[in-house]
Amino acid sequence: MDGGGIDIGSGAGGGAASGAAGGAPLRVGLIGAGRIGASHARLLGTRVRGARLVAVADPRPGAAAAVAAPLGARALLDPGELLADPAVDAVVVTASTEAHAALVEAAAAAGKAVFCEKPAGMDLAEVQRGTAATDAAGVAFQVGFNRRFDRGFASARAQVEAGLVGTPHLLRSVTRDPGLANPAAVPPWAVFRLTLIHDFDTLLWLHPGAQPVSVYAVADALVAPGFKDAGLLDTAVVTIRFDDGAIATAEASFSAAYGYDVRAEVFGSAGMLTVGSPVGTAPVRYDAAGSHAATVRSDVELFTDAYTAEFEEFAAAVRERRAPSVTGRDAHRALAIALACIESVRTGQPVPLPLAGGTAAPR
């Protein structure tokens, strides 16, 4: 739920990703200097091998400069100016969610490789257009499903693929955010489109080869009930049925008093694996009062290495002129489940997949 309120207009053009060929670092421009944009900019400017942050754009006065200046990058007010700059090989989109699709298409039109934070569009048609535009331009298009790049989650996927849990029967994914600082700022349906979309991608990824066939979701405003009439649902549970009979659940809450909690589980015919913990690798202390451990308090804290690794994959894909390991098609699959959840909550019924005809959902 991050971004800088970016609104891209016409005027993007020029530039190409060819500047990153060979051993030269990928020259990255970032659009959107909000919370996650500032974090991504710091990683690109200080940690990511094979990439160099050269510019940050955000139309809010001072926002881009505050992020860019400490990293030695240029600050711009106009995202179109960044897209038109031939010194920028690739664009990282961390603007407001509603602007993602337009920025992806504009980056493709400018010949830039593009990394887009999730979701890659507000509906399936927007994601399809972005994928088609980047395909036609021949540029890399990666979407920010960072859990795939966490070492623990990646190991879990490898063990599933190796058959170490046998045939998956039950899967589970959990995201619990550590509170709602400003419920009024949370857009409607964010619990599905912005939060659980990570869990949907994780469940699809941890059950490779299987296709989701139906979705049933329940959700309510238990954390901030006073904002329910404004469209804020802060607690949700989703059930996904797969074509091989497997059943997955995903749950989310915006009120984990103990920290930021992300976990997953795969139970199969030969065993079970779990990954994730709100304490991460923190030591646990035991005394007369019980056990105590410090917990992770934000996504940025928990997934610093994963965010770094996903950008290194993006830079490598551009240099090697190949598709990234996470694409617009993955974004489409996860968003389809999120939109089905919205329909399920509105109707109180399971929703079959793929979605029949309609690609839009309430904004």
pLDDT of residue 67: 98
43 vs 36: CA distance, rounded Å: 11
187-228 per-position pLDDT tens digit? 999 999 999 999 999 999 999 999 999 999 999 999 999 999
270-323 per-position pLDDT tens digit? 999 999 988 876 778 888 998 888 888 888 888 999 999 999 999 999 999 999
Q: Tell whether 134 and 214 lie within a shared domain.
A: no
Residue 133, domain member (yes or no): yes
Q: For residue 274, give both structure tokens.
A: 């779990």
- Residue 267 belongs to a domain with what CATH number? 3.30.360.10
How crowded is the C-beta side of 357, counted as CA atoms within 13 Å? 0
53 vs 26: CA distance, rounded Å: 8
Q: Tell whether 253 and 340 lie within a shared domain.
A: yes
Q: Tell whether 179 and 278 lie within a shared domain.
A: yes
Residue environment code for 125-145, b if the CB has 16+ CB neighbours within 10 A, otherwise e:
ebbbbbbebbeebebbbbbbb
322-362 per-position pLDDT tens digit? 999 999 999 999 999 999 999 999 999 999 999 865 444 44
74-111 per-position pLDDT tens digit? 999 999 999 999 999 999 999 999 999 999 999 999 99
Q: Tell whether 109 and 170 lie within a shared domain.
A: no
Helix (H, G, I), strand (E, B) or coil at 316: helix
Choice between 11 and 124, residue whose per-residue pLDDT is larger? 124
Q: Tell whether 283 and 212 lie within a shared domain.
A: yes
- Among 100, 91, 89, residue whose Cα is nearest residue 130: 100
Residue 62, domain member (yes or no): yes
Q: Is the pLDDT of residue 28 over 60?
A: yes
- Residue 28 belongs to a domain with what CATH number? 3.40.50.720
The residues that bridge with 265 in the sheet, in sequence order, are 172, 274
Helix (H, G, I), strand (E, B) or coil at 94: coil
The residues that bridge with 76 in the sheet, in sequence order, are 57
- In this structure, what DSSP letter does residue 170 have? E
Q: Tell whether 82 and 160 lie within a shared domain.
A: no
pLDDT of residue 328: 98
Q: For residue 73, give both structure tokens.
A: 């990058």
Q: Is the pLDDT of residue 163 over 70?
A: yes
Q: Is the pLDDT of residue 37 over 60?
A: yes
Q: Provide the number of structural domains found in the chain.
A: 2
1 vs 176: CA distance, rounded Å: 14
Residue 242, domain member (yes or no): yes
For residue 212, give the H/E element and its range: strand 212-220
- In this structure, what DSSP letter does residue 69 have? G
91 vs 4: CA distance, rounded Å: 15
Return mean pLDDT, the chain: 92
Q: Look up the domain containing 24 and give its range.
A: 17-145+320-326
Question: φ and ψ at 341, to 5 degrees?
Answer: -60, -45
Q: What does the angle CA 158 – CA 163 – CA 165 come to, to the nearest 5 degrees?
A: 95
Total number of residues shown for the chain: 363
pLDDT of residue 16: 43
